[in-house]
Structure 1
Amino acid sequence: MTEWISTPVEPGLLRGALETERTPHGLLPHRLPARARRQFPDPALALIESQPAGVRLAFRTRATVVELDVLATKTVYRNAPPRPESVYDLVVDGRPAGSATADGGNVLVVDMFTQDVEQRPGPPGTVRFAGLPARDKDVEIWLPLSEIAELIALRTDAPVEPAPDRGRRVWLHHGSSISHGSMAGRPTATWPVVAAGLGDVELINLGLGGNALLDPFVARTLRDTPADLISIKIGINLVNTDLMRVRAFGPAVHGFLDTVREGHPDTPLLVVSPVLCPMHEDTPGPTAPDFGDGKLRFRAAGDPAGRAAGQLTLNVVRDQLARITALRAEDDPHLHYVDGRSLYGEADFAELPLPDGLHPDTAGHQRIGERFAEHAFGAEGPFAAA
């Protein structure tokens, strides 16, 4: 009979979260700190930052069975096709070792058109991994991309201790839903996780689906977070939301970068423009959901003529970012720029099209992650090891 050891989930077992909150159920990881959370009234962003993309439990143990009790909060969309079940990924000594799901949980039913939300309460569930090798090993449990996970307790058949610090550099990344991991299939398949593995770095992923909007509270979060490497992927969400015009965009980018540089004056900083998205290359937003064929797809709801009035398109954004970074690099030798189409461009779209018109699938994430790692972490890259 298995003799279980129950270990409370404490912040020391977590990596990739900027802050944690003790709830009535357990420990809730946050990817934005409380100061930032107080400065946005948007419930959609509150949901997104609580989805633990890139957050993982990391510990060392001889256990052969690991169970994690969680209270999940899952999101479904009204009148939309069912979403794939969110999974938890197990990694042992740096290698994938399985995936599992959690039963039960709360459900948020969201209307994509009105943003109305209905909450249906549910019970906690358990994520279970068995058959682990009976030796000392480093174990990571990567939390799901698109559901909140309140962590209740960790049960094992041998003691656990926090994973040791391996001295790897910390890479802090901010971006949109693609950086968050939308449509990647599982938490270790997102392009930032792929790139971090190839670059042998510790990832903090501030990819915020729909919310890479040059918000000052995000810039201050990047400023105040210790990091050895920083990248910022800018553009697609500003087009999605039709949030600003060219006149506001340039100063907003400068202000965002100025704030980051207040805390990281000499840190390698890579600005990444949008990957290819044909519907918005020359057509402004907003972006609208479309269920016309029974599947969730997106379409550009703007008018190409809007460019004359200063509306943003992806090509406009790229031109502006190339100009801004070249200007700033005259006084900032640690600032770098990459055109996102070098990570995913026309040839990639022909081979690996965007299933919903907006996001890459798992294979697309893999390609973007590999390309980013080659560009950033390669011998001549801005993030190359000294």
Structure 2
Amino acid sequence: RYTLLSAAGGVSGTYGGLTGALATDATPFVDFQLVYDANNVYLDISRTSTAFADVASTFNQRSVAAAAQALGSGNPIQDNILFLTAPEARNAFDMLSGEVHASIHSGLIEDSHSVRDAASERIRAAFDGVGASSVPVMTYGLGGLELAPATSENFAVWGRGFGAWGHLDSDGNAAGLDHSTGGFLAGGDAAVGESWRLGLISGYSHTSLEADDRASSGSSENYHLGLFAGTQNGNLGFRSGLAYTWHSIETGRSVVFPGFADSLSADYDAGTFQAFGELGYRINTASASFEPYANLAYVNFDADGFTENGGAAALSSGDRSSDTAFTTLGLRASTVLTLGTVTATARGGLGWRHAFGDVRPDTALAFAGGSSFAIKGVPIAKNAALLEAGLDVNITENATFGIAYQGQIASDAQTHGFSAKLGVRF
């Protein structure tokens, strides 16, 4: 109870009522009432029967609302939410959710294809596969190190720079996520037996992630290592591989709503394991070559637990894991072009990718002194069209440059990536 007015000579009459933020229907969690006696006017504030979760409209909002209310009186999170309007409360629940820690799973799982794509393409190139780069590789033969065709049977060393950016749309629960990655991959492979090729791939990349609607961001330093193998038996080709990526993740977010402000940060390690296999069948025509193919990939993302640095809105979490699989059916094509005195290989492809498993990653989070609550991140697109295009140009007799584009387009997500190679004979 708060005393608004005291008069020794007494109080007569009444106020017309409360308006604005003190109006009964403006603040669903508390009730304001004017009370009078002979000499005073009081403002009584009482808790209504409306639970925080009653005004929430999404899964994440309801989870945060229940956890915030359970913190009890005296906690700055609960005490400030009590006096919010329903729209302000929903915004507060979103800002408090820490959903970036779940959405990071989606961003890094989406970007994992860069490693397996590079390994698969190198195997295809080694067997003069359809749609593979024809840029020469560095080999070691009887004459020592030299630049040789991608199909050389000698031990070969190669590298490629790559970059990609994309966006995962909001599903109405989690906010949309922008993600971008850039890095370099290098590998070495050699002939094994009569028709197999076995190799290693390694590299580094940096990923940036932004969930602007939640004032949240993250970054990851990624270190890649993998093993790949493949063969060509007549027109039938097989490629496979295993890879692991070590992630060093940092996050930052701001939580701001009326009466409350906090800045949070965290850093933790994570890892991505992936395995893939692909079958393709080559079809040659007079003007071009084609390859229908089927690809299966499994991706496991594991993240360590963490505790955010910050104030009352800081969250903690235990270890988290997501398992996702991708199937792809597609068609590749390539042809050799002659442009005056310059020869070039043009290549392209079209495919359909289906994702299943943990396409909507979730994580368990908790406020200090509170019980855990579930938060769902932005989902990976279940179905996406894959677009590929590339051109390898023999710039001079001793130099070949190759550039390639790969896009993943869905109704609720898209990713665009480029890679480049250069082969120069000295």
Q: TM-score range by the shorter chain?
A: under 0.3
Choose between structure 1 and 2: higher helix proportion: 1
Q: TM-score, normalised by structure 2?
A: 0.24
Q: TM-score, normalised by structure 1?
A: 0.26
- Bigger CA radius of gyration: 2
Structure of higher RCO (CA pairs closer than 8 Å, 6+ residues apart): 1
